Structure 1
Amino acid sequence: MSDEQLEATELRQRPQKESLFEAPPIAEQERMVEAILFASAEPVTVKDLAARLPHGSTVTQALVSLQRRYEGRGVELKKIGDAWAIRTAPDLGFLMQKETVETRKLSRAAIETLAIVAYHQPVTRAEIEEIRGVSVSRGTVDQLLELEWIRFGRRRMTPGRPVTFVVTQEFLDHFGLENARDLPGLKELRAAGLLDNRPRPGTMPGVTAEDEEDVVDSDDQDDLFED
């Protein structure tokens, strides 16, 4: 056997050096994703997960496998907007409730404003007022912004470039929604008793738009948006 053949045989028999960028096994990636989500108080985006995991990791595959593994357990992996979070199974939520719960009810104006943003986003303040039929006070918008249930969206490319409003990831997380398309339709709202035949805002005699902003209803419609 020639020297060249011996050298070639030796090279084939040598163990291949592992790449410094070789991704860990998918099971190990699942453990890493699981650890990050458990330690995070807020939902984590795929981009943020990918930035923390070793180079070459398949974050999406790890999330799908982890979500399947949590099916039927006490906690589940939920997609919230463009992020992921570990949450208590819906049917076990009653175990997490406290004996005394302090609730803050939103005014009817705030509820209607929030609903309009959720169903018509992105929507400008003028469009909200057109749909409601009355003006929207700054306090109503500020309250929803403070709750972090709505946020400023992109400005419209129209005269004056008005700012738009959209619902936030916190809003989706609070109501267990993946995206705004999961909001109930009119039939579901009526079936749940959340829509009634009360007069449109601004049509009640003796009640101005400013007065209406301070009205807090005690019926079931407000309970949908308790915090």
Structure 2
Amino acid sequence: MRFPPPPIEEQERMVEAVLFASARPLSLRDLAERLPRGCDPAEAVASLRRRYEGRGVQLMRVGEAWAIRTAPDLGFLMQNETLEERRLSRAAIETLAIIAYHQPVTRAEIEEIRGVAVSRGTLDQLLEMEWVRPGRRRMTPGRPVTFVVTEGFLDHFGLESARDLPGLSDLRAAGLLESRPPGQDGMPDLVARGGNEHMDDDDEPAGRIDDFDDDLFEDDPQGQPGSD
């Protein structure tokens, strides 16, 4: 005998309990596998999200998954938490920015944009942090692997998708980019120094986001982060 699914209110409670206890964002498929047969996780999530509006915690979308997170305007209350700080080198920050704004992107394309070779350690660090993952291989000679940002990256920076990344004007307005003149040949400094075939990531000092060259953050013609 097949039993009817629980009322939507009960389904909301189930989804709430599962998301609250989960250490990672869960997709609708993940929720469907945990809920009783016949439940509608999409409807339960939508209803629960409305219920959380204006509360201290919110049901937030992270890529194709969902998670319960502290309301962004209350983040200052968590400032006493002990955080493990992992400083990224300038090479790692620039590589991460290129992947985020131009994904999916191959290693060769990263090197072309930066103008220097990308060391294995730079990508290994981003992969170890689970902020970057391999994407589909390009249907070109050699079938090079591409790289894309992960849901962990989106979750860390409070983004729903890569399309929510700030544009060049937003970064300048926030004081995260310095206005710097282009090189003598009219190209940005970062690309202009690409003629040095002996330079790689190991030759670069650690840097901050305000050391970036503007071309790393250029949007595509539609005003969204570049993508293929």
Shift of residue 104 of structure 1?
Answer: 2.0
Shift of residue 98 of structure 1?
Answer: 2.5
Partner of 1:97: 79
Q: Are residue 200 (structure 1) and residue 190 (structure 2) matched?
A: yes
Tell me the distance in 1 between the aligned counterparts of 2:138 and 2:209.
36
Partner of 1:60: 42
Tell me the distance in 1 between the aligned counterparts of 2:144 and 2:21.
39
Gaps of 5+ in 2: 182-188, 213-228
Q: Map 1:34-49; keep pairs closer than 5 Å.
A: 34-49=16-31
Secondary structure of the 1:48 match is helix
Tell me the distance in 2 between the aligned counterparts of 1:201 and 1:140.
19
Gaps of 5+ in 1: 1-18, 223-227
CA contact (8 A) 1:110 1:213 kept: no
Q: Are residue 164 (structure 1) and residue 146 (structure 2) matched?
A: yes
| Aligned AA (2:29) | K
Shift of residue 202 of structure 1?
Answer: 6.6
Distance 1:143 1:184, change over 3 A: same
Q: TM-score, normalised on structure 1? A: 0.82
Point out the more displaced range, 187-196 or 73-82.
Answer: 187-196
Partner of 1:131: 113
| Aligned AA (1:177) | L
Partner of 1:85: 67
CA contact (8 A) 1:108 1:213 kept: no
| Selected match of 2:200 from 204, 207, 210 | 210
Tell me the distance in 2 between the aligned counterparts of 1:214 and 1:179.
30
Partner of 1:115: 97
Q: Alpha carbon RMSD of aligned pairs, Å?
A: 2.4
CA contact (8 A) 1:80 1:172 kept: yes
Shift of residue 195 of structure 1?
Answer: 2.0
| Aligned AA (1:90) | P
- In terms of Rg, which structure is larger? 1
| Aligned AA (2:205) | V
Tell me the distance in 1 between the aligned counterparts of 2:83 and 2:28.
34
Partner of 1:27: 9
Relative CO higher for 1 or 2, CA cutoff 8 Å, sep ≥ 6?
2
The share of aligned pairs that are identical, in percent, is 68
Task: Tell me the matched-pair count.
Answer: 204
Partner of 2:129: 147
Shift of residue 70 of structure 1?
Answer: 0.5
1:36-59 residue CA offsets vs partner (Å, 9 max, x unmatched): 001101001100101111111111
Point out the more displaced range, 26-35 or 89-98.
Answer: 89-98
Tell me the distance in 2 between the aligned counterparts of 1:99 and 1:78.
21
Distance 1:201 1:99, change over 3 A: farther
Tell me the distance in 1 between the aligned counterparts of 2:209 and 2:13.
46
Tell me the distance in 1 between the aligned counterparts of 2:139 and 2:113.
21
